[in-house]
Structure 1
């Protein structure tokens, strides 16, 4: 089999609205830190220079949101109530694992301008590739947004789904929808402009708000979708990190191509 990395990095050098802070303790600094920790918490005296090469282990400390890099949004991210089940949306650590290792279907939407992608555009793509998603397929939207990764444009110039497009995929049995863009919804500026022009509240982040009444997950900030072998013929593995009580979890998303 062949593996294709579909993940964007957590990288403190890239521009983010919520900057990533990455502090690195070198192996020498780790030795000093370990010596102090052993003395303070366990009463054990071990000098840094007693360790091989005067080093212990490096240590990385990061400050970031669970929506940095490639990540999976849980239903609890969309709101505090659910119009299904017991009325309480599930956190990321409670989602069924079998949603996150499934056949994939990538849709080429690279011609979409900044703004919204409607159900009619998805239907045209289904017709072009000659198939529709099967229940529980993981649908990936290749919008081309990755070209702006690491810059402010990545957060303002991309295309996202409107409400009918999300409903179409959910009606087909899809439970995980992925995108190479910052959000499955259209950019903030585009959404607000359409709302001010129409007064229609249904244009306000519909892809996320629909998740309050229909349980599903989003994978945002994917990458490398152009490397996939075709619209199908691969599986997607995108297990989220098990962050207890969280509305999202980071994922190392990978396509598995059986050869």
Structure 2
């Protein structure tokens, strides 16, 4: 399950507790990928992130902290923040993880799109990939 607000979700929730992780995992060199051009409620695919990294001349190195800026923060405190959140596809998450980064952050309430958007996509396609892109890590 993903949550919002400042929080650390551990990939292996059941093996390590937050206090068992080295403090160094939570600070370091940060890179911001500006995806504020993405429409509300959309899914960020791998190709979008690849193109943004190249066009914004971002060099992602192992152990970097990558932050995804979508512009959804301006809707905080409104229904829009939850009903039209932008999400990352499984392939986009893998693309970032392949750099061996240590943290991914986003200015939305989680890495998934709004539940209503995922349900609508599933009803149209009957593909389970419409749900919870981040859950494959658990």
TM-score under structure 2 normalisation?
Answer: 0.88
1:174 to 101, 104, 113: 101
User: How far apart are 1:161 and its partner, in Å?
Assistant: 0.3
Residue 6 of structure 2 is matched in structure 1 by 70
What are the residue-to-residue correspondences of 1:4-23 with 2, within 5 Å? none
**Take 2:44 and 2:99, find their aligned partners in 1: how far apart are those partners?**
17
Q: Is residue 196 from structure 1 mapped to residue 123 from structure 2 by the alignment? A: yes
**Take 1:175 and 1:203, find their aligned partners in 2: how far apart are those partners?**
25
Q: Is residue 98 from structure 1 mapped to residue 24 from structure 2 by the alignment? A: yes
Report which of the two has the higher share of strand. Answer: 1
**What SS is found at the alignment partner of 2:48?**
helix
**Take 1:192 and 1:96, find their aligned partners in 2: how far apart are those partners?**
38
CA change 1:193–1:133 in 2 (3 A) is same
Residue 148 of structure 1 is matched in structure 2 by 75
CA RMSD, Structure 1 to Structure 2 (Å): 1.7
User: How far apart are 1:158 and its partner, in Å?
Assistant: 2.1
**Take 1:165 and 1:153, find their aligned partners in 2: how far apart are those partners?**
23
**Take 2:17 and 2:114, find their aligned partners in 1: how far apart are those partners?**
25
Kept after mapping to 2: 8 A contact 1:116/1:161: yes
Report which of the two has the higher share of helix. Answer: 2
Kept after mapping to 2: 8 A contact 1:75/1:90: no
**Take 1:92 and 1:196, find their aligned partners in 2: how far apart are those partners?**
37
Residue 51 of structure 1 is matched in structure 2 by none
**Take 2:57 and 2:78, find their aligned partners in 1: how far apart are those partners?**
36
Structure with larger Rg: 1
**Take 1:163 and 1:131, find their aligned partners in 2: how far apart are those partners?**
21
What stretches of structure 1 move > 6 A for 4+ residues in a row?
none
User: How far apart are 1:76 and its partner, in Å?
Assistant: 4.9
Number of positions where the alignment pairs a residue of Structure 1 with one of Structure 2:
135
Kept after mapping to 1: 8 A contact 2:43/2:87: yes
1:69-90 alpha-carbon deviations (Å, 9 max, x no partner): 322222256xxxxxxxxxx443
Residue 110 of structure 1 is matched in structure 2 by 36
CA change 1:145–1:73 in 2 (3 A) is same
